[in-house]
Structure 1
């Protein structure tokens, strides 16, 4: 019994809000993503954010598939307040996984969301998950504690990680060239 999951960080977008679409460069990147995948997955599941859905839309069109959406793949909310020092505040959440800023979500809570999606996937399937950088990096850290803030800061738009789960063990490999 095994699962093959490709976790995709969305392509370049015009902003961070849920309705932010891809830039022209992001649309080109989405087409490159579609060309990158040469084997049809069983499912494509995306964050409800527009930029994530648009990132896998050419891929879904290529194989005439529907994109399922799952709110558990949405980007983590660091805080509902505008944090001028958000970068440093985010860094700290990679060290203190329970830290929560006003209106925000702890690293542990966000990690639990994406892990719950993965746990519900059926065995012997392949799935593409379209999500966001912070959530992706928390998943990587969950699988391998050596991942951290520096790895988040080195992610690209888009980015692709292959996650293989077999016999209760997970292996992760970065598949996207910078």
Structure 2
């Protein structure tokens, strides 16, 4: 029995220190509408999202037309890089990818965040076996989950992601059987 998980990296949102409530601006809202139009025809059974507003707003347009309730899944939230702002995001993120056990003060290492994300993945695979589920999430945690399944999905892969982006992961039980990118900005 095949389970398809459509991991949706949230649409563009302007940076703010309020990670939980950061909304989508006009450009992000326009992309969220495109995602709704793209996924509405994918026979979706379940909508799950990180509790972060930008992830919710990216996929919530599917709820009404599909008659589905959006379920929040805390463990699909973005990885916490540090307890406060970092002076150079590029250097900070590179360091945690180069050393998976390293964590900035108050932040999650790649290993800790990946473990959290993979636990959530396995809960979804068990609870929604045989379903097509859309998961509103974030780039770093999405790639960390994918990396646990296939090491090709690494820092270089993360750097080339679009915002938003969509990857369909197909599973037979807990075994990954296919990955397909289904987002095209144009």
Distance (whole Å) between structure 2 residues aligned to residue 177 and residue 144 of structure 1:
23
Distance (whole Å) between structure 1 residues aligned to residue 119 and residue 174 of structure 2:
14
Distance (whole Å) between structure 2 residues aligned to residue 40 and residue 165 of structure 1:
16
Distance (whole Å) between structure 1 residues aligned to residue 183 and residue 35 of structure 2:
9
**TM superposition score normalised by structure 2:** 0.90
Distance (whole Å) between structure 2 residues aligned to residue 124 and residue 57 of structure 1:
22
Q: State the secondary structure of the residue aligned to 1:103.
A: coil
What do you get for the CA RMSD once the two structures are aligned? 1.4
* 2:102 aligns with one of 88, 99, 102: 99
1:14-163 matched pairs, under 5 angstroms: 14-16=14-16, 17-37=19-39, 38-121=41-124, 122-163=128-169
Q: Deviations over 1:93-115 (max 9, x none)?
A: 22211111100001111111221
Q: Does 1:164 align with 2:167?
A: no
For structure 2, list consecutive stretches of 5 or more residues without a partner in the other structure.
Answer: none
Verify the 8 A CA contact 1:31 1:59 in the aligned structure 2.
no
> Number of paired residues?
178
Q: Does 1:177 align with 2:179?
A: no
Distance (whole Å) between structure 2 residues aligned to residue 155 and residue 61 of structure 1:
28
Q: State the secondary structure of the residue aligned to 2:98.
A: coil
**TM superposition score normalised by structure 1:** 0.93
Distance (whole Å) between structure 1 residues aligned to residue 2 and residue 134 of structure 2:
15
Distance (whole Å) between structure 2 residues aligned to residue 8 and residue 130 of structure 1:
5
